[in-house]
Chain A
Amino acid sequence: EAGVAQSPRYKIIEKRQSVAFWCNPISGHATLYWYQQILGQGPKLLIQFQNNGVVDDSQLPKDRFSAERLKGVDSTLKIQPAKLEDSAVYLCASSDYDRFVSYEQYFGPGTRLTVT
């Protein structure tokens, strides 16, 4: 099966500019996640979608970050305006869903963002 797709793979922007990332999950996966991975750290969950509804966005800096999942499939993550500390790899992951089971998360290749 095709894996999680993300684009672009790399992005360099100046601070205060805007940027958007796109994710296409594995077909049929109800749950989609966006993670931020800063150099030297593990992935940190930014937002979790169940179909097209938000399950958890407690760690999303909502003053500058936004995300949506159209029709419960593809998702976009936007940063506006970007700050230097937003430089990181942004990972998208998807999984099946069952309220009683934690399913394996499948990760995309990530988008490496550099803010100068």
Chain B
Amino acid sequence: AQRVTQPEKLLSVFKGAPVELKCNYSYSGSPELFWYVQYSRQRLQLLLRHISRESIKGFTADLNKGETSFHLKKPFAQEEDSAMYYCALSGTQGGSEKLVFGKGTKLTVNP
């Protein structure tokens, strides 16, 4: 079964500090991992996906298959990074491809 765990419900950092949002997954096959973000009063939207291996808004995430993790990192947090972050896994289950989300981490960047 596919499972995504985000151990921190809330995370608070100061502007300019490094930030890491943790994500662990459980999946028997070869997963595709994503980070989605929801800013206040906005829609849920894709932030980045592991196959792209790119940095979006200063965020990066590396897939570590040995530790089954896909942590989201940014070296210097900004106030506009305050949002709800969801880690998601795409895998094939029951013959169809399904996106499974974690419970999310609310990031607050304080001035």
Contacts and interface: CB of A to CB of B under 8 A. Distances in A.
A108 B100 CA distance: 17
B46 A104 contact: yes
A24 interface: no
B32 A102 contact: yes
Interface string A36-47: 000011111100
Contacts of A56: 94, 96, 98
A102 B97 contact: yes
Given A42-B103, A107-B45, A55 B96 contact: yes
Contacts of A102: 32, 49, 90, 97, 99
B103 A108 contact: no
Interface in A57-116: 58, 91, 102, 104-110
Contact of B98 (A41, A48, A91, A109): A48
Contacts of B4: 42
Given A43-B86, A105-B99, 5 more contacts: A42-B88, A42-B102, A45-B98, A102-B99, A108-B43
Interface of A: 3, 33, 40-45, 48, 55-56, 58, 91, 102, 104-110
29 contacts: A3-B43, A33-B99, A40-B9, A42-B4, A42-B86, A42-B101, A42-B102, A42-B104, A43-B44, A43-B86, A43-B101, A44-B101, A45-B99, A48-B98, A55-B96, A56-B96, A56-B98, A102-B32, A102-B90, A102-B99, A104-B49, A105-B46, A105-B99, A106-B45, A107-B43, A107-B44, A107-B45, A108-B43, A109-B43
